[in-house]
Homo-oligomer: A and B are copies of this chain.
Amino acid sequence: MLIKYELIKKDRTSRARLGLITTPHGQFATPVFMAVGTQGTVKTLIKEELEAIGAEIILGNTYHLWNQPGPDIIKQAGGLHRFMNWDRSLLTDSGGFQVFSLANIRDITEEGVSFKHHKNGDRLFLSPEKSIEIQNALGADIIMAFDECPPYPSSYEYMQQSVERTLRWAKRSQDAHQNKTTQGLFGIVQGGEYLDLRKHCAESLVAMDFDGYSIGGLSVGEPKTIQNHVLAFTTPLLPENKPRYLMGVGSPGAILDAVERGIDMFDCVLPTRIARHGSAMTTHGRIIIKNKQYENDFSPLDHHCDCYTCRYYSKAYLRHLFKAEEMLAYRLLSIHNINFLLRLTENIRQAIKEDRFLEYKQQVYRDYGLHFSDKDF
């Protein structure tokens, strides 16, 4: 296997697991959080900053890079790694999620999806073959099969048809994949909240032998209880010796819930997006930096944090930058928020090592101000 997953240790108090993933560009421990570099950059940041906070793998978005600058340019540059100056591990999604969430006037057929681009209105067509062709040009270490991601709720009948199509598309993705010696391909389990469909999808994909598996179609508006239920049901259906990836999840509570149920990999725009809106994740919950109370608060965002932002800048300065609409505000808050999630996953790994994952989860919930009954946080 090109993407090697080594199971290091299971937590005794939950299904949480400590692992080690090896890709052509490096090795990293799991559970891991991956920052998102949508358009070939983790917004506002450079490689050295991401490395300093311990980012070992980041994401690029096929949908966005397909449009701008286009896969040909990136291929000519020697691939996305070289184009964006990132030499650690890299993952690209299939573009499917953006097609289903951003684009307009979709038309889904057996062949693929035709749609209008959400910004320029261009008429586009994405299929398993096209998605893999683009991802092959981008050259990330891990690429994703092209799947359909139906909204929540969807009827059982629709979901059943959709899962069958997603399975056929998974096979076509596999067949289209040209760089089997340099890029690993993950399959995506769909099926909504219908456990029998999840089971059928998972088992069929496992039989196709992917490098890893993602659980898709979650975080699309369903209640948290359903998300956790589907995760608890689905992860045991996946092979122990392959990575398990929950796409689009990045809140501290949801990461903890999913790790508890056996997930290894996460990605989300949350830390950079809320940074641009002036929010910071801290040990004691989220703070909104523009609030008047921070006007002359010369302490760091989080006393427990060792990130660059917390070492050198006060809340008062960050508030000033945000109010003055200075881009440095978004940059410094992004560093802090990504660091927060990377420290969270680091602490999770340590807790698994010491068989106290559930205890650690409870502590984070309490400190962060979460409740076990929260629907969303």
Contacts and interface: CB of A to CB of B under 8 A. Distances in A.
A27 interface: no
B328 A41 contact: yes
Contacts of A154: none
Interface string A60-85: 00001000110001001100000111
Interface string A40-67: 1101111100000000000000001000
A320 interface: yes
Interface in A283-312: 295-296, 298, 308, 312
B77 A317 contact: yes
A317 B41 CA distance: 10
B324 A84 contact: no
Given A316-B77, A326-B39, A327-B327, A295 B69 contact: yes
Given A40-B321, A41-B321, A321-B41, A73 B316 contact: yes
Interface in A16-55: 39-41, 43-47
Contacts of A296: 73, 76-77
A323 interface: yes
A328 B330 CA distance: 11
A314 interface: yes
Nearest to A314: B77
A317 B40 contact: yes
A156 interface: no
Given A83-B316, A85-B312, A328 B44 contact: yes
Contacts of A73: 295-296, 316, 320
A295 B319 CA distance: 38
Contacts of A328: 41, 43-46
A313 interface: yes
A317 B84 contact: yes
Nearest to A69: B320
A274 B186 CA distance: 43
A331 interface: yes
Interface residues of A, number: 36
Interface in A323-343: 323-324, 326-328, 330-331
B316 A68 contact: no
Interface in A68-122: 68-69, 73, 76-77, 83-85
A145 to B, nearest CB: 26
Contacts of A316: 69, 73, 76-77, 83
Contact of A324 (B39, B314, B324): B39
A40 B320 contact: yes
- Which of A41, A47, A313 has its CB near the most chain B CB atoms (within 10 A)? A41
A260 B85 CA distance: 41
A45 B44 CA distance: 10
Nearest to A39: B324
A296 B319 CA distance: 40
B331 A44 contact: yes
B68 A323 contact: yes
A73 B64 CA distance: 42
21 contacts: A40-B317, A41-B328, A43-B328, A44-B327, A44-B328, A44-B331, A46-B331, A47-B312, A64-B324, A73-B295, A73-B296, A73-B320, A76-B316, A77-B296, A77-B317, A83-B314, A83-B316, A84-B317, A85-B313, A327-B327, A327-B330
Given A40-B324, A69-B319, A331-B331, 13 more contacts: A39-B320, A41-B321, A41-B326, A41-B328, A43-B326, A44-B44, A73-B295, A76-B296, A77-B296, A77-B314, A85-B317, A327-B327, A327-B331
